[in-house]
Amino acid sequence: MAEKVEKSHPVVDLFKKRGMARDEVGKIYTSWAEDYEKDVVGLTYYCPSNNAAELEKLLGEKKDALILDVCCGTGLVGQEASANPCPPPYYCPSNNAAELEKLLGEKKDALILDVCCGTGLVGQELSKRGFNNLHALDASKEMLEQAKQKGVYKKLIHAFIGPDRVDIADDTYDAVIMSGAIGCGHVNGGGLAEMIRLVKPGGYVAMDSILKYTHDSDYGGKSFDEIIDSHIMAGRWVTVTRRLVEQVFNALDGMQYTFKVK
């Protein structure tokens, strides 16, 4: 088996720093938005594709499901959900969309929120699988503008997910999907409760992580996985998928998660 070698990139390397503040991360994305997709293609970024694939599994034929792409970035997740596939090296959006598709089945009208949507890659993955009732959420206006250009989202929401409440009613979405946004000044474990709140009982949360970048995802003295387990113990959701995925981004391994909200 070939040795996995992580490539260095001046912007991506910034996210290895611990204790990054949200405004610091926001400034990075403001300047990086236009070149984001071009840069990550060379780093084999699979999160949007994988994540959209996970959501597609869950929603099935409910292609009109309303989906919010949280932290949508430039819209790579949205692209993954649309008829226009994202570049093949991007595994996370495709895998995530495929996982969701397994769960949703033929429920193609499912309302789906793409959290930390970035440039809309997950949205593209979902759209190409027939899910077109998509909303996108991201903390960067510049990334949302890139996601908007994908043409797969019905609504764009400028907000950060968790731990504070976003201006969206409880039980709004059939599913929430989030790709490549855990840790490193992005979303920590405090965002999980908010995602659960937004999903209808019986709906799904599909998300992935890149293991090397999940530092700083702790919240309230608990690790990310401990927070996941606390929601299981509290009866808020049950595990559908929780597995290791090799080489999802830049030769790095990640985790794929899907949960059913109770």
In a domain, 125, yes or no: yes
pLDDT, tens digit (0-9, with 9 covering 90-100), for 63-100: 778 888 877 766 767 776 664 444 444 577 888 999 99
In a domain, 2, yes or no: no
247 Cβ partners below 8 Å, 6+ apart? 4, 44, 46, 91, 253
Can you say whether residue 243 is alpha, beta or left, with left for phi > 0 and alpha for psi between -120 and 50 degrees?
Answer: beta
Total tally of structural domains belonging to the chain: 1
Q: Which of 136, 150, 148 has its CA nearest to residue 80?
A: 150
In a domain, 254, yes or no: yes
In a domain, 190, yes or no: yes
pLDDT of residue 46: 60
pLDDT of residue 83: 47
In a domain, 6, yes or no: no
User: Which domain range does residue 28 map to?
Assistant: 12-261
User: Poorest-confidence range of 69-73, 159-163, 194-198?
Assistant: 69-73
In a domain, 86, yes or no: yes
Quote the CA–CA distance of 235 and 226 in Å, as a whole number: 14
In a domain, 138, yes or no: yes
Structure tokens at 49: 């594709």
Q: Got the DSSP string for 192-236? A: HHHHHHHEEEEEEEEEEEEGGG-TT--BTTB-HHHHHHHHHHTTS
Tell whether omega for the bond before 163 is within 30 degrees of 0, i.e. cis: yes
Q: The CATH number of the domain where 178 resides is what?
A: 3.40.50.150
pLDDT of residue 8: 44
Please report which confidence band the pLDDT of residue 6 belongs to, taking 50, 70 and 90 as the band edges: very low
